Amino acid sequence: MLHFLGQLYGPFFDLHNWETVITSGNDWLIIFSLVLIECLLSVDNAVVLAAQTQSLPTREQQEKSLFYGIWGAYLFRFIIIGLGTYLINFWEIKVIGALYLVFLVFQYFSKTRVKHTRKLVKDKKRRFLPLFWSVVMQIEMMDIIFSVDSVLASLAISNNPVIVLIGGLIGILAMRGVAEVIMKLMRRIPELEPMAYILIGIIALKLFVSIPAINIEIPATLFGIVVLGAIVITLLIHVIRKRRQPQTKTEKVTEKPSKSTES
């Protein structure tokens, strides 16, 4: 049992592994990709957490519940990444994981993910704990539910648990600290969200083609470059759409008088 636990969590305590990751520019490019995907995928998580904390009477309790929640999220990430790095070596898990990620993409573009998120906010279960600890437990449960897809996506990008852990921890901290900023940014640039799910589709493909029957390994660094390219293309699409909007508005305005004169 101890040997098995050592296999799962030993890499987290390998100082040489940490030193290699921290001093590698390629690894930080991968970590940036993981943080970006974590933030974009977890916007609905931030909405749910904000809704849950509103049931607490004071701002102090709301902030305290989020503080406990973030440490619980860190602990869960550590546990699930260790298990994930072991399970992801089985090709059956890769196939299931790829199909799950494809399902997430389908769920997003069919808008059922949004409905599911709203349902989670509205669902009120009977409480067996004081209000504060009940909210903390709900936050932990939501973290577990929402982080499964981001952990799976992260492990599909990189099989180094230290890289995945750093990306996950920074992503969680970023979401809790700048959730409102990210949500405002995504409202101003709505193309970011579909871009994130297109990337999830690419990750699903990356995971599927790595099974032994196909045995095509797409380097994590190449995926990091793809992410940067996707951001640039998304911003270009946003700028082009913005420039076209005033033209369409002026065309509609000029069309109206001509119709009235004809009548």
CA 148 to chain centre: 9
Q: What is residue 182's predicted lDDT score, i.e. its pLDDT?
A: 67
Q: Is 137 exposed, middle or buried (0-12, 13-18, 19+ CB in 10 A)?
A: middle
239 or 123: which leads in pLDDT = 239
Between CA 165 and CA 52 the distance in angstroms is 26
Q: What is residue 23's predicted lDDT score, i.e. its pLDDT?
A: 92
The pTM of this model reads: 0.70
Residues in the chain: 263
Q: What is residue 117's predicted lDDT score, i.e. its pLDDT?
A: 47
Largest CA distance in the chain: 86
pLDDT tens digits, 209-229: 988 888 888 887 888 888 888
CA 249 to chain centre: 35
pLDDT tier, 177 (very low <50, low <70, confident <90, very high otherwise): low
Question: Where along the chain do its domains lie?
Answer: 2-255
Q: Is 19 exposed, middle or buried (0-12, 13-18, 19+ CB in 10 A)?
A: exposed
- pLDDT score of 12 more than 70: yes
Contact between residue 159 and residue 81 where contact means Cβ atoms under 8 Å apart: no
pLDDT tier, 131 (very low <50, low <70, confident <90, very high otherwise): confident
pLDDT tier, 45 (very low <50, low <70, confident <90, very high otherwise): low
Tokens of 122: 């509205």
- pLDDT score of 254 more than 60: no
pLDDT tens digits, 83-102: 888 887 788 888 988 898 88
Question: Which single residue is written with the structure tokens 């904000």?
Answer: 50
Q: What is residue 256's predicted lDDT score, i.e. its pLDDT?
A: 54
